[in-house]
Structures are given as structure tokens and as C-alpha cells.
Amino acid sequence: MKQCIAPYKCHLFVCIKSRGGEKKSCGDGGTPDLKAAIKAETKNRGWKGIVRVSESGCLGVCAAGPNIMIYPQKIWLSEVTLEDVPKIIQILEELMVE
Ligand code: FES
């Protein structure tokens, strides 16, 4: 194993887990579209290699989903919708200047 420093300033984990209606899950809320929208906005801002947007499995708080966590800043976003993408980008912009 090789240990190193994370290469991204911000790494977003977008939970896309779907339980097929068995119980509430992030995948019920169109999270693949959410991930794609965030990724497109980060690309448009030239943040490739700085901000990473990844799909995630269950983050453990399904009832509050769709959930996104941002590391290493430890920011947790719940009940996220596509309409929240501008706010998420604003949060990332603020993190870029820190
Ligand atoms: S399904 Fe997203 S937190 Fe569990």
C-alpha cells in the first residue's frame, strides 16, 4: 500500500444508491442527473483536477437523501435537488478561496 495526500481540494460524493422503492433512498431523487449537473458546472469552471465529483453507495442516512458529502471540508448536504446545484457551486466557490 502507498499512502499519499488526496489530490483534490474538494471531493464530492453523491449517493446514488437506489433501493427500488423498498425504502427511501438517494437514488429515488434522480441523483445521477444531479451528479452530472454538478460535474458539468465544475468542468465549466475549469476545476478539473481540483474538484472531483464521484458517485457513492449508501452514506447511511437514506431518509435524509439525496445526500452529498464534501471532503475534506466535512460538509454534508441533504434533501438535495437539481435546483440546489447553483447553491452547491456557490459553496464550492467559497471553498476555492479558502
Ligand atoms: S441511500 Fe443514500 S444515504 Fe443511504
Closest alpha carbon to 31 in 58, 55, 62, 64: 55
* Residue 15: per-residue pLDDT: 96
| Residue that the C-alpha cell 457513492 belongs to | 56
DSSP state of 27: G
pTM: 0.93
Asked whether the CA dihedral 70, 74, 80, 86 is positive or negative, the reply is negative
Fold for the domain defined by 11-96: Glutaredoxin (3.40.30)
Mean pLDDT of successive 10-residue stretches along the chain, which has 98 residues: 96 94 87 92 96 96 96 97 97 92
Residues framing ligand 1 (Cβ under 6 A): 15, 17, 25-26, 58-62, 65, 67
Give CA separation, 54 vs 1, 23, 31, in Å: 22, 23, 11
Ligand 1 centroid vs 3 CA: distance in angstroms?
A: 28
Most informative mutation of 12, 13, 17 for ligand 1 (most atoms within 8 A of CB) = 17
Measure 25 CA to ligand 1 centroid, in angstroms.
Answer: 5
